[in-house]
Amino acid sequence: MDASVPAIVINRLPLYLRALDLMVENDQRLTSSQELAEWLGISSAQIRKDLSHFGEFGKQGTGYEVPFLRDQLRSILNVDQLWDMAVVGAGALGHALVNYGGFAHRSFRVRAVFDVDPDKIGQSINGMAIESQTVMVERLQTMEIKIALLAVPVRAAQHVADLLVKGGVRAILSYAPITITVPNGIQLAYIDPVVALQSMTYYLTPVVT
């Protein structure tokens, strides 16, 4: 990991990888920064600049070899291996996350599900038994899980995040609409569809009733 690479650059790499994955699926062998720009709505100059942080991957007049660049980005992002994950919260969102089929194709696998509701503990989601949050720290340590998806109510989010860190988790993707505090070195990201919707409605004309 090169700490000098801006986070915004790292955040764009998965977009490039997704486009390259689609090209590989379509048996496309070569591409260019211009073609990637057309796919992604990012300038070709920006794409070239982003990739230059990690080396020279293209050839003048030829462009990029799609499988090679795809494999290089997978290595840079550390998704050339399978990452086990835990889901905390077995409500409707937690069920959807566990059952989501897109993780396995992108190097991620849900291996454990935790909840505090005694009525849910022991039930099965996608072949996995829901485990009690009381054993979560020990189970995370035993399974050496480093990534967790947080799908709990707002009031529980900080406490659960603290337990995840104690259990050895180093990357947390939170769906709880609240800011969480974690120690330095812990990767934390948020997904809040309401925030995204509110950003879009700024550009819409209000409905007159």
175-197 per-position pLDDT tens digit = 999 999 999 999 999 999 999 99
93 and 151 Cβ atoms separated by less than 8 Å? yes
Q: How many domains does the chain have?
A: 2
What is the pLDDT averaged over residues 37-60? 90
Distances in Å between the Cα of 177 and the Cα atoms of 17, 173, 180 are: 28, 12, 9
Helix (H, G, I), strand (E, B) or coil at 148: strand
Maximum pairwise Cα distance, the chain: 63
For residues 139 and 89, membership in a common domain is answered with: yes
- Residue in this structure with the two tokens 């947390």, named with its chain if needed: 172
Over the stretch 115-157, which tens digit does the pLDDT of each residue have? 999 999 999 999 999 999 999 999 999 999 999 999 999 999 9
**Is residue 205 a part of any domain in this protein?**
no
Beta bridge partners of 129: 124
CATH number at residue 158: 3.40.50.720
What is the pLDDT averaged over residues 4-8? 90
Residue range of the domain that includes 180: 83-195
